[in-house]
Structure 1
Amino acid sequence: MSIWFTSDLHLRHARLVEIRGFDTEVDAHDESILDALGVAVASGDQLWVLGDVTVGGRAAEDWALRELGEFAQKRNVELHLIPGNHDSCHPMANRNSHVRQRAFLDTFASVQLFARRKIAGRTVLVSHFPYTGDHTAEDRGVKYRLQDEGDWLLHGHTHQSGVLDPSVHPRQIHVGWDSWRRPVHVDEVAEIIESDSPIP
């Protein structure tokens, strides 16, 4: 079994489809993402999606959940979701997020606002939001962000093209689609962490 991470798939999101170079071809954008997931993630693997499955809206969200559910079932992949600010099961997106969680649990084995993993011998937190930084002038969703107590953090949300930005934070690893254009393997995350410094 291998473990993979990604975020900000934004399936059915017409505006982001254009930014990602697909003109107005939403279907081509979504197919390219699902194909890339299929190439990387094998039977028995885990895939952690760190939020923003789509941009929101019931029809787009239901379509995305159905497609991801079919992908997981056909390929025997275990999906986990750390919801983002555009997912209706996140309290930032929807004051009745608890009502929508059931729909997400039909697709994902777990839905939780953050998680804790051990990678390269280090505690690594997993969240949609970084400790700091955004793709807007001001950090959004600050009350939903984890406190920085020195642990590494895997995140999405920023849509940045780079994986690490030490000028913003030295231990945030962006696993979003806009950085990688594919899911990120846990060994790649371990390599980044190990290159930082030896375990104290």
Structure 2
Amino acid sequence: MNVWFTADTHFDHQLVAGLRGFGSPAEHDEFVVQRWNATVHPGDQVWHLGDVGMGRLARFAGVLRQLHGELHLVTGNHDEPWPGLRQAYQHQRAWLEHFASVQAFARRRIGGRNVLLSHFPYEGDHTEDDRASQYRLPDEGLPLLHGHVHGAWRRHGRQLNVGLDVSDLRPVHLDEIAAELDRPG
């Protein structure tokens, strides 16, 4: 089994599809599914670090069913079960039909070290202001895999962006993450 990390798929999201050079969300989603399934095998594990799609799950549930791998979700601000949304608890069950786990953050062991997983970086954003600061993990010295910043950076100190915009629109393998974390930041 291989382990992969990704973020910011933004299925059925008109604005992101256009920013990534696609004519429609359907065209974008089909391309991302093809890249994903050419990379990830059915028995692999994928940690999705949030912003799966735009709007209600029903809009892109069919896309999720096409993806290879056992999917785990660390929620992002566009995901219905994200705890920053008032009614998040009402969506957990539906999302667990597509994800083996749904959580606000996680910790994994990568390359012999503890690494935190969150949608949000410790600091920084793809906008001028750091949004959702009250939902960010504090930087207490551990490396952090995240999404949210789109193409703003790949690595920023201990923060490593695994979003599609900086990884050729495909998930990133555990070994690549370990190698990146071994490089001086």
Same fold (TM over 0.5): yes
Mapped to 1, the partners of 2:113 and 2:184 lie a distance apart of: 11
User: Does the CA-based 8 Å contact 2:125-2:152 persist in structure 1?
Assistant: no
Residues 109-120 of structure 1 aligned to structure 2 (within 5 Å): 109-120=100-111
Of the structure 1 ranges 156-165 and 9-18, higher mean CA displacement relative to structure 2 is found in 156-165
Aligned match of 1:105: 96
CA RMSD of aligned residues (A): 1.3
Aligned residue-pair number: 184
For 1:87, give the aligned amino acid: D
- What's 1:65 paired with? 61
Equivalent position of 1:21 in the other structure? 21
Task: Please give the secondary structure, in 2, of the residue aligned with 1:55.
Answer: coil
- For residue 39 of structure 2, what is the aligned residue in structure 1? 40
Q: Percent identity?
A: 48
The answer as to 2:178 corresponding to 1:190 is yes
Distance 1:161 1:38, change over 3 A: farther
The residue aligned with 1:95 is 86
* Contact kept? 2:12, 2:26, Cα under 8 Å: yes
Whole-angstrom CA distance in 2 between matches of 1:43 and 1:51: 21
- Whether the 8 Å contact between 1:131 and 1:147 is mirrored in structure 2 is yes
User: Which residue of the other structure, out of 150, 153, 160, is the alignment partner of 1:159?
Assistant: 150
* Larger CA Rg, structure 1 vs 2: 1
Distance 1:188 1:148 in 2: 23
| Residue identity matched to 2:66 | F
CA distance in 2, matches of 1:160, 1:19: 11
1:126-145 correspondence runs (5 A): 126-145=117-136
Establish whether residue 179 from structure 1 lines up as the match of residue 166 from structure 2: yes
Q: Which has the higher helix share?
A: 1
Quote the Cα distance in structure 2 between the aligned partners of 1:110 and 1:71: 18
Is the 8 Å Cα contact of residues 5 and 46 (structure 2) preserved in structure 1? yes
TM-score by length of 2: 0.95
Gaps of 5+ in 1: none
On the 8 A contact 2:83/2:104 being kept in 1, the answer is no
| Aligned twin of 1:3 | 3
Pairwise CA distance, 1:161: 5.0
Deviation at 1:15, TM superposition (A): 1.0
Q: Flag as ranges the 4+ runs of structure 1 deviating above 6 A.
A: none
Distance in 2 (CA, whole Å) between partners of 1:86 and 1:149 is: 26
Residues 66-106 of structure 1: CA deviation (Å, up to 9, x unaligned): 321x225xx4x2110001001110122x2010001111001
Q: Does structure 1 residue 83 correspond to structure 2 residue 75?
A: yes
Do structure 1's residue 121 and structure 2's residue 112 form an aligned pair?
yes
